[in-house]
Amino acid sequence: MTTSTSASPRELPHVPWGRVRQGRRSADRAMKLIATGFTFCAIFVLFWILGMLVVKGIGGLSLATFTQVTPGPGSEGGGLANAIVGSFVLTFLGIAVATPIGVLAGTWLAEYGRKSQLANLIRFINDILLSAPSILIGLFVYVILVEPFRGYSGWAGGVALGIIAIPVIVRTTEDMLNLVPSPLREAGAALGAPPAVVITSVTWRAAKAGMVTGILLALARIAGETAPLIFTALNNNFWFSPSLVGGVSNLPVTIYQFASAPYENWQQLAWAGSLIITMSILVLSIVARRIVAGGK
Amino acid sequence: MTAATDMTSLPAGGMVTRRAPKAGFDRLFRTASFTAALLVLVLLAGIMVSMVVGGWPAFREFGFGFITSTVWDTQNEQYGAWPAIVGTLSTALIALVIGVPLSLGIAVYLTQLAPAWFKKPVSTAIELLAAVPSIIYGMWGLFVFVPLFAQYVQIPVSNVVEGMPILGTVLYSRSPSGLGIFTAGFILAFMIVPFIASITRDMLEQIPSVLRESAYGIGATTWEVVRHVLVPQAGVSIIGAIMLGLGRALGETMAVTFVVGNANRLSASILDPGSTIASRIANEFNEAMGLQLNSLIALGCILFFVTFVVLCIARLLVSRVKRY
Q: Does A89 contact chain B (CB < 8 Å)?
A: no
Side chain identity at residue A38, one-letter code: F
Q: Which residues of B touch A21 (CB under 8 A)?
A: none
Higher pLDDT, residue B301 or B12? B301
Tell me the DSSP string of B64-130: THHHH---EETTTTEE--HHHHHHHHHHHHHHHHHHHHHHHHHHHIIIIIS-HHHHHHHHHHHHHHH
Nearest chain A Cα distance for residue B316, angstroms: 9
B152, HSE (Cβ side, Cα atoms, 13 Å): 6
Residue A35, in any domain of the structure: no
Phi, psi torsion values for B73, nearest 5 degrees? -125, 105
d(CA A148, CA A18) in angstroms, rounded, equals 76
Residue B24, in any domain of the structure: no
For the stretch B29-66, pLDDT in tens is 999 999 999 999 999 999 999 999 999 999 888 888 88
Q: Which residues of B touch A217 (CB under 8 A)?
A: 324
For the stretch B108-140, pLDDT in tens is 999 989 998 999 899 999 989 999 999 999 999
Q: Are strands B72-73 and B78-79 parallel, antiparallel or unpaired?
A: antiparallel
Sorted by sequence, the CB contacts under 8 Å of residue B222 that are 6+ apart come out as A6, A11, A28, A31, A32, B112, B113
Residue A160, in any domain of the structure: yes
Report the number of distinct structural domains present in chain B: 1
User: Are the beta carbons of B88 and B250 closer than 8 angstroms?
Assistant: yes
What is the share, in percent, of chain A residues with pLDDT greater than 90?
56
Asked if the Cβ–Cβ distance from A122 to B38 is below 8 Å, we say: yes
Residue A14, in any domain of the structure: no
Mean confidence (pLDDT) of chain B: 86
Q: Does B52 contact chain A (CB < 8 Å)?
A: no
Side chain identity at residue B206, one-letter code: Q
Q: What is the CATH number of the domain that holds B68?
A: 1.10.3720.10
Residue B12, in any domain of the structure: no
Confidence of residue B7 (pLDDT cuts 50, 70, 90): very low
Structural domain boundaries, residue A209: 81-295
Residue B194, in any domain of the structure: yes
Residue B84, in any domain of the structure: yes
Q: Which residues of A touch B105 (CB under 8 A)?
A: 34-35, 37-39
- Predicted local distance difference test score (pLDDT) of residue A282: 93
Range ranked top by mean pLDDT from A15-24, A237-246, B39-48: B39-48
Structural domain boundaries, residue B85: 59-323
Q: Does B221 contact chain A (CB < 8 Å)?
A: yes
For the stretch A68-115, pLDDT in tens is 888 887 777 788 888 999 999 999 999 999 999 999 999 999 999 988
For the stretch A35-77, pLDDT in tens is 999 999 999 999 999 999 999 988 888 888 888 888 887 777 7
Residue B65, in any domain of the structure: yes
Q: Between vectors from CA A222 to CA A96 and to CA B278, what angle results, nearest 5°? A: 130
Q: What is the CATH number of the domain that holds A272?
A: 1.10.3720.10
Residue B7, in any domain of the structure: no
Nearest CA in chain A to B193: A42
For the cut 80, the answer to whether the pLDDT of residue A13 exceeds it is: no
Residue B31, in any domain of the structure: no
CA-wise closest residue to A215 among A179, A176, A174, A168:
A168
Residue B40, in any domain of the structure: no
Confidence of residue B323 (pLDDT cuts 50, 70, 90): very low
Q: How far is CA A245 from CA A42, A150, A251, B212, in A?
A: 42, 11, 18, 60
Report the number of distinct structural domains present in chain A: 1
- Predicted local distance difference test score (pLDDT) of residue A32: 93
